[in-house]
């Protein structure tokens, strides 16, 4: 198996203050290949940084991780010229932000969560069988969040792995290692603890977590010592469509190639499971992303609080810039770009000198600051995004009306049609 750590068997764990020199590599699970047990310690634990619990791997790179530069990203985004200012969407995904997002999922009008959940329940056996047949060793869920749908997937996959033939071609000890990848440390701990409760009877899957961004995850997976292990990525919840189409294609390419190691080789990718919303009904989308109860507004406005913390603006004059009373939320459907866009708009002119960068930030009254978008992509859109990274649509499962799709992508599998009617396809 890939580099894994044993579970201590408790719900939550304090973070240890240990440097790499103190790490006892003998605590890796028996299924870990000896060649991996001592590899790349600097990518597991960073000097002078508190480390996570034993079943969490901190894969942030202090020089390149978006998490470690979120403060400078936030400042840079607000120094852009009028009309181009934005707030990094990473600001929304701390523990409080995830809680606010969960409240959106519970609203009656937010259809993507309910539709995807129903589709998973209806097709989970077929989806799990597809993943199992790919002989994957490592299963990584990107932007795992609260792991609300993960138990269903892992339980079904575990049943598929009960077949003796399913582990014969799998590396290591024959088990699949599941990693939840997310950017918030405390959320990862609590979510993984709850997932352990809901999947206590798993026989063929080990649960772990990775602390970092998508880019950190791609970098970690591209390590040469992980090359022998088949990898499957799971990215549900239409999260990929928070990116522009070109950005999404570029990010997928990071997971399909090992270019970060300068060898240009393709990764040992078993497959990519994507959940993508393709609804283009403007009224339906508007109701979902601007709920009457204000849940969406409260979540997007949370970016102000997170930005204030990142920039360490605590004096009265400085903190006024990020007081939500001085802003209004604006959401709109952009038909040309097939996405719903969320903005924050200052109600008056504000300026502040950010001591951290000694830069002056000026916001004009009415100047739109972009926070987050949610694309709505058809099967043909998904196919177009995946062709650049060398992926093709192998299987798909769709909701009634074909609005929402779950797609199984694999390297070198290409289709030229819309991809809607692919459920029973055997060859591409």
Place 257 in a pLDDT band, splitting at 50, 70 and 90.
Answer: confident
Tell whether the model's pLDDT for residue 17 goes beyond 70.
no
Across the range 381-392, mean pLDDT stands at 93
Residue from 373, 303, 366, 390 nearest 335 by CA? 373
Other beta carbons less than 10 A from residue 353's beta carbon: 12
Tell whether the model's pLDDT for residue 380 goes beyond 90.
yes
Question: The tokens 């499971």 sit on which residue?
Answer: 273
Strands 231-235 and 269-277: parallel
Residue from 191, 178, 208, 207 nearest 11 by CA? 191
How far is it, in rounded angstroms, from Cα 414 to Cα 40? 35
DSSP state of 349: -
Place 252 in a pLDDT band, splitting at 50, 70 and 90.
Answer: very high
Tell whether the model's pLDDT for residue 66 goes beyond 70.
no
**More confident call, 298 vs 63:** 298
Render 206-275 in DSSP notation, one character per residue.
EEEEEES-HHHHHHHHT-GGGTTS-EEEEE-TTGGGGS-HHHHHHHHHHHHB-GGGTS-PBP-EEEEEEE
Render 60-121 in DSSP notation, one character per residue.
--TTT-TTTTHHHHHHHHHTSPTT--B--GGGGGSHHHHHHHHHHHTSTT-HHHHHHHHHHH
How far is it, in rounded angstroms, from Cα 87 to Cα 303? 7
What domains lie within the chain, and their CATH numbers? 66-88+303-375 (no CATH), 99-281+377-411 (3.40.50.150)
Q: Which of 179-183, 378-382, 423-427 has the lowest mean pLDDT?
A: 423-427
| pLDDT given at position 87 | 97
Place 77 in a pLDDT band, splitting at 50, 70 and 90.
Answer: very high
How far is it, in rounded angstroms, from Cα 373 to Cα 386? 20
Q: Which of 6-15, 93-102, 194-203, 295-304 has the lowest mean pLDDT?
A: 6-15
**% of the chain with per-residue pLDDT over 70:** 76
Question: The tokens 């990898």 sit on which residue?
Answer: 231
Residue from 374, 181, 408 nearest 280 by CA? 374
How far is it, in rounded angstroms, from Cα 306 to Cα 310? 6
Place 97 in a pLDDT band, splitting at 50, 70 and 90.
Answer: very high
Instruction: Kindly give, in sequence order, each residue whose CB lies less than 8 Å from that of residue 54, ignoring residues fewer than 6 positions away.
Output: 5, 6, 7, 8, 13, 16, 27
Q: Token pair for residue 313?
A: 């603006």
How far is it, in rounded angstroms, from Cα 359 to Cα 97? 27
Most confident of 286-300, 356-370, 410-424: 286-300
Tell whether the model's pLDDT for residue 88 goes beyond 80.
yes
SS3 270: strand
| Cβ proximity of 373 and 342 under 8 Å | yes
Residue ranges in 231-390 assigned as alpha helix (H): 245-256, 282-289, 295-311, 316-319, 379-387
Place 163 in a pLDDT band, splitting at 50, 70 and 90.
Answer: confident
| pLDDT given at position 19 | 31
Sign of CA dihedral 418, 423, 424, 428: positive
How many residues can be counted in the chain? 428
Across the range 24-39, mean pLDDT stands at 29
- pLDDT tens sequence across 205-251: 999 999 998 999 999 999 888 999 999 999 999 999 999 999 999 99
How does the average pLDDT of the chain come out, rounded? 80
Across the range 267-288, mean pLDDT stands at 94
- pLDDT tens sequence across 322-337: 999 999 999 999 999 9
SS3 219: helix
How far is it, in rounded angstroms, from Cα 151 to Cα 192? 10
| pLDDT given at position 104 | 95
- pLDDT tens sequence across 183-207: 888 888 999 999 999 999 999 999 9
| Cβ proximity of 299 and 100 under 8 Å | yes
| pLDDT given at position 294 | 95
How far is it, in rounded angstroms, from Cα 191 to Cα 147? 6
Render 391-419 in DSSP notation, one character per residue.
EEEEEEEE-TTS-EEEEEEEET----S-S
Residue from 172, 176, 181, 193 nearest 234 by CA? 181
Tell whether the model's pLDDT for residue 61 goes beyond 80.
no
- What Rg value do the Cα atoms of the chain yield, rounded? 22
């Amino acid at each position: 198996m890939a580099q894994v750590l044993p579970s201590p068997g408790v719900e939550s764990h304090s973070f240890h203050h240990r440097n790499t020199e103190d790490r006892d590599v003998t605590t890796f699970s028996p299924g870990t290949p000896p060649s991996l047990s001592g590899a790349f310690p600097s990518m597991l634990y960073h000097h002078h940084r508190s480390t996570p619990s034993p079943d969490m791997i901190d894969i942030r790179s202090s020089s390149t991780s978006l998490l470690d530069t979120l403060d400078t990203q936030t400042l840079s985004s607000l120094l852009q010229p009028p009309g181009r200012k934005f707030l990094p969407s990473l600001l929304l995904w701390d523990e409080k932000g995830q809680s606010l997002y969960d409240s959106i999922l519970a609203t009656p009008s937010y259809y993507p969560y309910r539709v995807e959940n129903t589709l998973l329940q209806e097709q989970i056996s077929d989806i799990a069988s597809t993943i199992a047949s790919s002989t994957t060793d490592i299963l990584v869920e990107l932007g795992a969040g609260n792991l609300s749908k993960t138990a269903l997937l892992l339980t079904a996959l575990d049943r598929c792995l009960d077949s003796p033939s399913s582990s014969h071609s799998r590396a290591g000890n024959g088990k699949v290692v599941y990693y939840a990848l997310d950017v918030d440390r405390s959320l990862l701990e609590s979510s993984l603890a709850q997932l352990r409760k809901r999947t206590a009877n798993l026989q063929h899957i080990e649960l772990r977590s990775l602390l970092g961004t998508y880019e950190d995850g791609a970098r970690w997976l591209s390590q040469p010592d992980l090359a022998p292990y088949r990898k499957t990525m799971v990215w549900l919840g239409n999260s990929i469509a928070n990116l522009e189409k070109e950005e999404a294609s570029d990010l997928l390419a990071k997971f399909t190639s090992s270019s970060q190691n300068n060898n240009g080789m393709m990764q040992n990718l078993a497959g990519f499971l994507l959940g993508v919303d393709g609804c283009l009904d403007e009224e339906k989308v508007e109701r979902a992303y601007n709920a009457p109860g204000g849940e969406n507004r409260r979540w997007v406005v949370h970016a102000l609080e997170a930005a204030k913390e990142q920039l360490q603006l605590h004096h009265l004059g400085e903190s006024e810039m990020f007081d939500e009373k001085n802003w209004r939320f604006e959401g709109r459907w952009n038909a040309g770009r097939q996405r719903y866009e969320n903005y924050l708009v200052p109600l008056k002119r504000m300026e502040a000198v950010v001591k951290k960068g000694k830069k002056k930030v000026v916001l004009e009254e009415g100047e739109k600051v972009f926070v987050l978008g949610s694309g709505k992509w058809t099967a043909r859109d998904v196919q177009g995004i995946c062709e650049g990274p060398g992926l093709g649509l192998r299987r798909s499962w769709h909701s009634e009306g074909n609005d929402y799709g779950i797609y199984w992508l694999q390297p070198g599998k290409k289709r030229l049609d819309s991809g809607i009617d692919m459920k029973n396809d055997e060859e591409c």
